[in-house]
Structure 1
């Protein structure tokens, strides 16, 4: 049996600690891609950001973005799947954040809207780092200063809003927010780091996204590899025929994986590709 679809998380997996893809990893992925293996970046980030990194490798495979909420074929630009956070649901999320004095961050496939001074500074630092490293990702980012402006954003983007991420370093406050959000039947709530909550429409996940894409191409789950490191990767690791946890993955992710590779700073992804795709 040969693997025909490899789904790879970005942060903590494909990207090293410097948020870059190593030359070794690029070379292994490109070799597999040239053998007509679908190498699919599967990320919580927005589509346009993931597409930038795919272009750095030379990949033309589809992309699963925003935790499975948005799947697009890069070559044909066909939208394969989209899961929306509708306007009223986005407002409910905003109201919960407002009660805890926390500023959310809402995403469309091409744009990120954020509130709060902390996030404004964070994105300035992020953009400066990208400029230093040569990252020319064309993600648009816009600061939303107040509730009235958020209502306008939700009305304008009602057919494009696909994800919310809440970032805060007070873990107790985050836990309370997560508990409230989890009680809303229409929401799917996960995390990709200790300081965040990621929110999509119910039933949206990386695992579901992999399943949808595999069905689109007629690829059985036994011929799929999924590689990740965090909670939001767990669904695809469990779905794939070969679920791989990074060496730097959380312990409960490692427990669910079929195989544990090296860390993201030691070419863990390349080692999986070499072992199970190129040398099998």
Structure 2
């Protein structure tokens, strides 16, 4: 079988993983069928490598990976291809914004995840990849978004309706997928990108087929070429059956 689509770029939380953080047996089965048919499966996640890799290992993937929303592209597990770092001064400014309104925050450096409760203040001595905020106060989150936009030089997305995730400007999953395509000798038209949040939006817009999960944020659904079942109902298995194997889904 020669598949029209040769790369399946999968977000993890809310997409590949169900709400219990598990890849279901049905999804595992169909992912294996895709791999056996010559399709490259690429994890494309906001997670750090250490948090994403166990799932790649579970699936037996040795293909490129995109982590931290595209700040890292891995040629293969444990083999970094490109890393995009954030200016430490921007990290300091974002930390100060969080302190102003007592907003829960976290940041990824190349060594670990730093959170509000273990922040040691050493900003310049580290290599930074991403900064994030979480608040269920919509007004406060909107105010924060405006402040971040005023700073400039930032790629602002989210991985849930209640958070904001910040990478260096131009660093996103779409850019990461383009680099993976170069590594594999593929074109973006041969990519299916699947996700549920704003950090998946650029990839969904720029890939050959952009797919939103049934549980995706409305903006993502509106921009997608297709919407499938939720992460708790094997939406990824549906993507593979419908768009790689062209099988009708029994309802």
TM-score scaled to structure 2, two decimals? 0.92
| Structure 1 residues 146-165: aligned runs within 5 Å | 149-150=120-121, 152=122, 154-158=123-127, 161-165=128-132
Q: Is the 8 A contact 2:42 2:65 kept in 1?
A: yes
Q: What's 1:121 paired with?
A: none
- Gaps (5+ residues) in structure 1? 117-142
User: Superposition RMSD on alpha carbons, in Å?
Assistant: 1.6
Q: Distance in 1 between matches of 2:46 and 2:149?
A: 18
**1:199-236 CA deviation, whole Å, 9 max, x = no partner?**
11011111111112112322111110000111111100
**Which has the larger displacement, 107-116 or 14-23?**
107-116
Counterpart secondary structure, 2:57: helix
Aligned pairs (5 A) from 1:240-251: 240-251=207-218
For 1:133-152, list aligned pairs within 5 A. 143-144=118-119, 149-150=120-121, 152=122
**Pairwise CA distance, 1:164:** 0.7
Whether contact under 8 Å (2:110, 2:126) holds in the other structure is no
Partner-residue secondary structure (3-state), 1:193:
coil
**Contact (CA 8 Å) 1:46, 1:108: kept in 2 or not?**
no
- Out of 215, 218, 221, the residue aligned to residue 182 of structure 2 is 215
User: Would you say the 8 A contact 1:50–1:63 is kept in 2?
Assistant: no
Of 238, 242, 245, the residue aligned with 2:205 is: 238
The separation in 1 between residues aligned to 2:111 and 2:10, in whole angstroms, is 20
Partner of residue 92, structure 2: 91
Corresponding residue to 1:55 among 51, 54, 57: 57
| TM-score (normalised: structure 1) | 0.83
Residue 146 of structure 2 corresponds to residue 179 of structure 1: yes
Residue segments in structure 2 that go unaligned for 5+ positions in a row? none
Q: 1:274: which partner in 2?
A: 241
SS of residue matched to 2:237: helix
Q: Does the CA-based 8 Å contact 2:14-2:195 persist in structure 1?
A: yes
Change (3 A) 1:35 1:272: same
Q: Tell me if the contact between 2:75 and 2:183 (Cα under 8 Å) persists in the aligned partners.
A: no
Task: Tell me the SS of whatever aligns to 1:262.
Answer: coil
The structure-2 alpha-carbon separation of the partners of 1:103 and 1:259, relative to structure 1 and needing over 3 Å to count, comes to closer
Which residue does the alignment assign to 1:128?
none
- The reply on whether 1:106 has 2:75 as its aligned counterpart is no
- What is the Cα deviation at residue 198 of structure 1? 0.2
1:74 offset after TM fit, Å?
2.5
Q: Structure 1 residue 110: deviation in Å?
A: 5.0
Shift of 1:103: 3.7
The number of aligned residues is 245
Does residue 204 of structure 1 match 2:204? Answer: no
1:193 aligns with 2:160: yes
1:78 positional shift: 3.0
Q: Structure 1 runs of 4+ off > 6 angstroms? A: none
Match in the other structure for 1:4: 6
Pick from 220, 239, 249: which aligns with 1:253?
A: 220
- Aligned to 1:41, which of 40, 43, 47? 43
Superposed CA deviations along residues 164-198 of structure 1, whole A, max 9, x for unmatched, are 11112222212111110111221111111121110
